[in-house]
Chain A
Amino acid sequence: DAGITQSPRHKVTETGTPVTLRCHQTENHRYMYWYRQDPGHGLRLIHYSYGVKDTDKGEVSDGYSVSRSKTEDFLLTLESATSSQTSVYFCAINRGNYGYTFGSGTRLTVV
């Protein structure tokens, strides 16, 4: 979507390896979010950020860490990937009165 990109779009990784997903925005919004989407569970919040170096946990944060060293970039890291982290990951920005905009998603498979 306009103003927000995720990379990579697809990734296959082995159990136990670290993985970093990147979310980049071009619109300088303060709030950014990482969600995962799984069948039967809908969208669940992993972590969110309300500014540079300001982050907080969501409902499913175990096994994930985030960093935000620049306004435009929000990184999600799986320190040691597990099969239960196989999912589709979405990044989102809060555009204030224009609501949320989501990235196209990253499909992650842990084998």
Chain B
Amino acid sequence: KQEVTQIPAALSVPEGENLVLNCSFTDSAIYNLQWFRQDPGKGLTSLLLIQSSQREQTSGRLNASLDKSSGRSTLYIAASQPGDSATYLCAVQDSNYQLIWGAGTKLIIKP
């Protein structure tokens, strides 16, 4: 059974720092991996999607990598800003088109 783990559960850093959020999964047979952001009381916003055949995707200050063989993905945020404060969720899609979720990393960027 696929399990997804996100470390750390919470992270607080000063504004301007570069940071890395980690996501690991137990079964490498994934269709794709998607990173989401959720602000308190709000919905989920898709940040980046990495297909199983890809190694990384970039969008602005965000870069996500995927290493299927080791069951790991990282989300790199460059030059963090207070507006980046949110919960970041990692989800893998299996061959049955189901999403298996990590518990999330709550990120706080201090001004």
Contact = CB atoms under 8 A, between A and B. Distances in A.
Interface string A1-39: 100000000000000000000000000000101000000
Contacts of A42: 101, 103-104
Interface in B25-42: 32, 34, 36, 42
B98 interface: yes
Interface stretch (B15-23, B43-51, B67-75, B76-84): B43-51
B61 to A, nearest CB: 20
A101 B46 CA distance: 7
Given A42-B103, A100-B34, A100-B99, A90 B44 contact: yes
Interface in A27-80: 31, 33, 42-43, 45, 48, 50
A50 B98 CA distance: 11
A43 B46 CA distance: 15
A33 B51 CA distance: 20
B46 A100 contact: yes
A31 B97 contact: yes
A43 B43 contact: no
A43 to B, nearest CB: 5
Given A31-B97, A42-B101, A43-B101, A99 B49 contact: yes
A108 B41 CA distance: 13
B43 A102 contact: yes
B43 A90 contact: yes
A99 B46 contact: yes
Closest 8 CB pairs of A and B: A99-B49, A102-B44, A104-B43, A99-B34, A105-B43, A43-B101, A102-B43, A42-B101
Interface of A: 1, 31, 33, 42-43, 45, 48, 50, 90, 94, 97-105
Given A100-B34, A100-B91, 4 more contacts: A33-B99, A50-B97, A100-B93, A102-B44
